């Protein structure tokens, strides 16, 4: 995306928010933050003493750490730096992967051209027991020269975040395989099914291509938070379009979706929302809102304690389908700017995560299988912490995964971790990314 197009995306988002709120900047108002935003933000109590009263989790799709930060980091691949201050303290992507191939440039065109096979079968075979040597050749139907790709200017916004805030260079997808199975760890911190084989019984499921529909019993982290008196919400782009079409109809795809499909990546997909698999949420009309509503809630002072944000597939950086890579960072940045200009600026942590590596090469060997659910880890995926609570120009080397976010939410909003009795009881917390001087409590690393 050109700088002019990126500016347009941000400007449209911010302008829409201003119209919705009808309010301008009010730095002397009663809001808790130092930004504008018009409406006052209500005082929020976390229950743990933390000053982080709001968390926005944005889940993007299908890229490894090497994809997005292989050109930002400057330490030699395999050098295992122990420092934490900026790009010299994380490893660059190698000049060649184990079979001798050099990376292609991951940009709008190459991202749009091909969606690597990211099934559990292909990801497992390509990792080859941690040798990470079969991405380019060696596995029929999986290996491909385009699987080794490193982005530059297309994700410069994320590089700028890394320089200003904190990133994790040892954050792994919790399960080998495709998106939906990995998304479940954001909700329940454990393996529920594999790949994209199951979809929830929820609005929009008729437009979802997953072959099997299931409803599960059990507690999610949203249940833990609600029981503690906290508010939660999902903001999903395209939900309003599907909602308007009704339960038995798939709407026409948006005109700017190059794939022009009446399903993913052009339409809202309920299998992207892990909470909808559970019977207490699958028909909860209050849980899922259209992404457009987040602007109104930020400017109107009605943002929930925890927000799960999901963009449409062609805005989420997902490879293939004609989808430009740079659109995702621009849309995420527009949301971050909206938060920073609001009364929520001083009490909100934005976490930007990626569901899985998308079948792309990453040079770091994954950890051993989880001792909790026995499932194998996949490749590294980026994790960025944004806002006043994040350490500055910091690289964390602590082993993290999606369940670490669950553990953090439990501690931050209830003071107690491990309440799901899954990986949230065993994984590291997010403390290595956060500034204890700002948070008000010490969020531990473990």
Q: List pLDDT tens digits, range 8-25.
A: 444 434 443 433 333 333
Quick one: average pLDDT of 176-195? 98
**Is residue 54 very low, low, confident or very high in pLDDT (cuts 50, 70, 90)?**
very high
Q: Which residue has 């079948």 as its token pair?
A: 359
**Is residue 44 very low, low, confident or very high in pLDDT (cuts 50, 70, 90)?**
confident
**Which CATH architecture best describes the domain 3-439?**
3-Layer(aba) Sandwich (3.40)
Query: Is the pLDDT at 28 greater than 90, yes or no?
Result: no
- pLDDT at position 46 is 82
- How many residues are given for the chain? 446
- pLDDT at position 13 is 43
- pLDDT at position 249 is 82
For the record, the structure tokens of 67 come out as 């994809």
Higher pLDDT residue, 374 or 41? 374
**207-244 burial: b if 16+ Cβ within 10 Å, else e:** bbebeebeebeebbbbbbbeebebbbbbbbbbbbbbbe
For the record, the structure tokens of 99 come out as 């079979």
Q: What angle do CA 136, 140, 146 make, to 5 degrees?
A: 30
Residues 412-429 pLDDT 10s: 999 999 999 999 999 999
Residues 318-331 pLDDT 10s: 999 999 999 999 99
Residues 105-131 pLDDT 10s: 999 999 999 999 999 999 999 999 999
Neighbours of 369 (CB within 10 A): 12
Lowest mean pLDDT among 21-35, 105-119, 361-375: 21-35
CA nearest neighbour of 292 among 16, 11, 60: 16
**Is residue 47 very low, low, confident or very high in pLDDT (cuts 50, 70, 90)?**
confident
Instruction: Confirm if 339 and 56 have CB atoms less than 8 A apart.
Output: yes
For the record, the structure tokens of 199 come out as 């979809």
Using DSSP's 3-state secondary structure scheme, residue 306 falls into strand
Write down the pTM of the prediction: 0.92
For the record, the structure tokens of 142 come out as 């999986």
Q: How far apart are CA 75 and CA 119, in angstroms?
A: 31
Query: Is the pLDDT at 5 greater than 50, yes or no?
Result: no
- pLDDT at position 33 is 40
Query: Is the pLDDT at 363 greater than 60, yes or no?
Result: yes
- pLDDT at position 39 is 56
Q: How far apart are CA 191 and CA 374, in angstroms?
A: 9
Average pLDDT, the chain: 92
Using DSSP's 3-state secondary structure scheme, residue 420 falls into coil
Quick one: average pLDDT of 298-326? 97
Q: What share of the chain is helix, strand, coil (3-state, %, to 5)?
A: 30, 15, 55
Query: Is the pLDDT at 31 greater than 70, yes or no?
Result: no
With a pLDDT cut of 70, the percent of the chain lying above it is 91
């Amino acid at each position: 995306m050109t700088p002019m197009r990126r500016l347009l995306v941000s400007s449209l988002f911010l302008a829409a928010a201003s119209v919705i709120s009808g309010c301008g900047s009010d730095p002397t108002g009663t809001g808790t933050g130092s930004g504008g935003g018009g409406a006052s933000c209500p005082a929020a109590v976390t229950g743990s003493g933390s000053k982080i009263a709001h968390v926005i989790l944005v889940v993007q799709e299908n890229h490894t750490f090497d994809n997005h930060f292989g050109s930002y980091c400057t330490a030699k691949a395999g050098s295992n730096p122990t420092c934490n201050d900026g790009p010299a303290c994380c490893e660059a992507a190698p000049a060649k992967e184990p079979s001798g191939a050099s990376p292609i440039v991951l940009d709008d065109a190459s991202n749009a051209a091909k969606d690597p096979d990211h099934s559990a079968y292909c990801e497992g075979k390509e990792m080859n027991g941690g040798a990470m040597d079969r991405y380019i050749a060696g596995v029929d139907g999986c290996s491909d020269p385009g699987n080794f790709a490193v982005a530059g200017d297309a994700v410069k916004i994320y590089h700028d975040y890394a320089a200003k805030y904190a990133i994790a260079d040892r954050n792994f997808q919790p399960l080998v395989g495709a998106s939906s199975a990995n998304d479940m760890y954001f909700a329940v911190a454990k393996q529920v099914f594999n790949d994209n084989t199951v979809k929830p019984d929820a609005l929009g499921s008729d437009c979802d291509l997953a072959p099997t529909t299931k409803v599960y019993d059990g507690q999610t982290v949203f249940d833990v938070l609600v029981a503690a008196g906290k508010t939660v919400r999902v903001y999903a782009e395209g939900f309003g379009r599907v909602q308007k079409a009704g339960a038995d109809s798939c709407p026409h795809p948006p005109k700017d979706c190059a794939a022009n499909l009446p399903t993913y990546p052009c339409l809202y997909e309920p299998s992207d929302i892990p909470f909808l698999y559970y019977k207490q949420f699958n028909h909860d009309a209050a849980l899922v809102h259209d992404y457009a509503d987040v602007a109104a809630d930020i400017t109107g002072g009605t943002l929930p304690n925890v927000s799960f944000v999901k963009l449409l597939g062609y805005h989420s950086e997902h490879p293939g389908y004609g989808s430009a890579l740079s659109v995702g960072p621009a849309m995420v940045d527009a949301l971050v700017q909206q938060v920073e200009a609001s009364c929520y600026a001083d009490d909100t942590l934005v976490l930007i995560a990626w569901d899985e590596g998308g079948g792309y090469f990453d040079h770091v060997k994954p950890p051993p299988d989880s001792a909790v659910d026995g499932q194998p880890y996949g490749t590294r995926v980026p994790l960025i912490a944004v806002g006043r609570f994040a350490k500055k120009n910091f690289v964390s080397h602590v082993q993290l995964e999606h369940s670490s976010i669950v553990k953090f939410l439990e501690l931050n909003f209830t003071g107690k971790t491990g309440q799901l009795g899954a990986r949230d009881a065993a994984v590291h917390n997010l403390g290595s990314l956060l500034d204890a001087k700002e948070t008000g409590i010490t969020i531990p690393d473990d």
